[in-house]
């Protein structure tokens, strides 16, 4: 018998004056199973979801948006022992099923958990995040990038859209298509950088290379783009050659820490999530050196409203080594090098919309994904994408775009008019 089972087989006596239990409908099934389901429901913050075991035990809740069914008591006990990691694993291997909208279920859990957590817990979460630093050597960075990005360009092409942009899109209107919004995002970045023909840009982490190609084609600048994902670099070079842009864009298969030279603009989209806190000052030094006392920079990154580690299951199974910084943590990039922050924009809801489009395309291609990998992979990535929609919709995650410039530079805009004028 596990520790959880021993704890639950002893019936607790009611405390005089204590608040009554939530008005759940009476569950059916074994008494221990009922207690286990109730414990998990309470841990989750009592969201509007039903919990069940395949043996018939059921815990209902008012206005439930979904029902979660566990294959066995063993599955439920394993999840109770380590919910943050074990739930995702159990969903992936089919030991947990969700009836109803997966995103709605995850949103309900996120909102309930945040609503039930005392504000004092923010400090504890921050301390926990800072107690667990991971080394970020060049070899370690390559391993982390390879785990996520080098699983096959064909896989990502199924659901990223024609731009192959694995970053938050920018929706000028809510009904814009994914491809329209991705192009609008690239224009939004270029306008923030106030690019002019003939200028030079360095990009730290370029993905499949579309932003660099967009800059070269639409804004007639020269771009040097760094990336340590071999598959992405190969794709980017081949596509740039097909587009006739090989002379304007250089894709460098190397770590951002090896950037050298002087440029008119510095840009990094998404890559900050894979830069460890201990290396933020190094990134700032590289940006400051690249700009040489003039020019403009932009960093686009997922983040949080307070310091906290990435969800354990996402960090372990999907994005090893990733960390979403708070704005206060991002200041470690700028302050030591006298880099002035000029503009901060939060595109959280734009990322939620981007992820909804990705999830819809992923579901439409699920049979092809299954043929490429297996059912466990299909379910794992479905949970990741749905969970990401929920995280950005509920404000658990943010999306920051920070524009900066050398502190001594007066080449800064008076207004934001340049962002919206054609």
| CATH for 101 | 3.30.1050
Flag whether 129 is in a domain: no
Say whether both 44 and 155 belong to one domain. Answer: no
Give the CA distances from residue 239 to residues 251, 311, 353, in Å, rounded to whole numbers and listed in that order: 11, 34, 27
CB contact at 8 A, 68 and 96: yes
- Is 253 part of a structural domain of the chain? yes
The 10s digit of each residue's pLDDT in 347-371 is 999 999 999 999 999 999 999 999 9
Encode pLDDT of 208-222 as tens digits: 999 999 999 999 999
First to last CA, the chain: 68
pLDDT at 420: 87
pLDDT at 308 over 80: yes
pLDDT at 138: 59
Domains: count for the chain: 2
What pLDDT score was predicted for residue 27?
Answer: 43
pLDDT value of residue 9: 42
Are the beta carbons of 354 and 178 closer than 8 angstroms? yes
* In the predicted structure, residue 13 carries a pLDDT above the cut 80: no
**Is the model's pLDDT at 131 over the cut of 50?**
no
Handedness of CA 43, 49, 54, 59 (dihedral sign): positive
**165 and 259: one domain?**
yes
Q: Does 146 lie in the same domain as 264?
A: yes
Shared-domain flag, residues 180 and 325: yes
pTM above 0.85, yes or no: yes
Task: Indicate whether 133 belongs to any domain.
Answer: no
Helix axes 230-242, 210-219, angle to 10 degrees: 30
Which structural domain, as residue segments, surrounds residue 80?
3-116
The CA distances from residue 397 to 120, 224, 383, 388, in Å, are: 19, 30, 16, 8
Q: 282 and 188: one domain? A: yes
Whether 126 maps to a domain, the answer reads no
Task: Compute the average pLDDT of residues 156-179.
Answer: 97
Per-residue pLDDT tens digits for 322-344: 999 999 999 999 999 999 999 99
What average pLDDT does range 394-414 have in this prediction? Answer: 96
| Better-scored residue on pLDDT, 144 or 279 | 279
146 and 292 co-located in one domain: yes
Are 271 and 240 part of one and the same domain? Answer: yes
């Amino acid at each position: 018998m596990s520790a959880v089972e021993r704890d639950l087989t002893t019936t607790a006596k009611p405390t005089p004056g204590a608040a009554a239990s939530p008005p759940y409908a009476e569950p059916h099934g074994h008494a221990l199973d009922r207690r286990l389901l109730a414990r998990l429901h309470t841990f989750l913050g009592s969201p509007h979801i039903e919990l069940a075991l395949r043996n018939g035990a059921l815990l209902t809740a008012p206005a439930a948006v979904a029902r979660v069914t566990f294959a066995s008591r063993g599955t439920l006990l394993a999840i109770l022992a380590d919910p943050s990691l074990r739930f995702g694993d159990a969903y992936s291997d089919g030991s947990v099923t969700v009836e109803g909208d997966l995103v709605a279920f995850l949103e309900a859990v996120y909102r309930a958990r945040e609503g039930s957590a005392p504000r004092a817990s923010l400090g504890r979460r921050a301390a926990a995040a800072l107690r667990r630093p991971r080394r970020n050597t060049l070899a370690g960075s390559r391993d982390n990038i390879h785990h996520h990005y080098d699983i096959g360009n064909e896989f990502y092409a199924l659901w990223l859209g024609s731009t192959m942009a694995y970053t938050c899109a920018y929706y000028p209107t809510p009904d814009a298509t994914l491809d329209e919004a991705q192009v609008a995002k690239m224009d939004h970045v270029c306008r923030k950088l106030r690019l002019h023909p003939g200028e030079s840009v360095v990009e730290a982490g370029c993905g499949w290379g579309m932003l660099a190609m967009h800059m070269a084609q639409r804004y007639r600048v020269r771009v040097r783009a760094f990336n340590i994902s071999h598959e992405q670099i190969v794709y980017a070079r081949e596509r740039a050659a097909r587009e006739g842009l090989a002379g304007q864009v250089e894709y460098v298969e190397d770590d951002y820490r090896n950037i050298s030279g002087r440029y008119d603009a510095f840009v990094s989209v998404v890559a900050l999530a894979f830069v460890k806190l201990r290396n933020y000052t190094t990134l700032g030094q590289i940006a400051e050196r690249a700009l040489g006392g003039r020019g403009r920079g932009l960093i686009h990154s997922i983040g949080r409203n307070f310091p906290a580690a990435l969800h354990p299951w996402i960090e372990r199974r999907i994005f090893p080594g990733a960390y979403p910084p708070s704005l206060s943590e991002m200041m470690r990039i700028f302050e030591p090098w006298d880099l002035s922050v000029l503009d901060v924009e939060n595109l959280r809801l734009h990322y939620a919309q981007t992820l909804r489009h990705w999830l819809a395309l992923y579901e439409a291609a699920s049979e092809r994904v299954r043929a490429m990998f297996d059912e466990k992979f299909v379910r794992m990535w479905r949970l990741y994408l749905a969970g990401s929609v929920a995280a950005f919709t509920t404000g658990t995650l943010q999306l920051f775009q920070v524009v900066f410039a050398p502190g001594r530079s007066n080449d800064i805009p008076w207004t934001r008019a340049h962002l919206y004028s054609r």
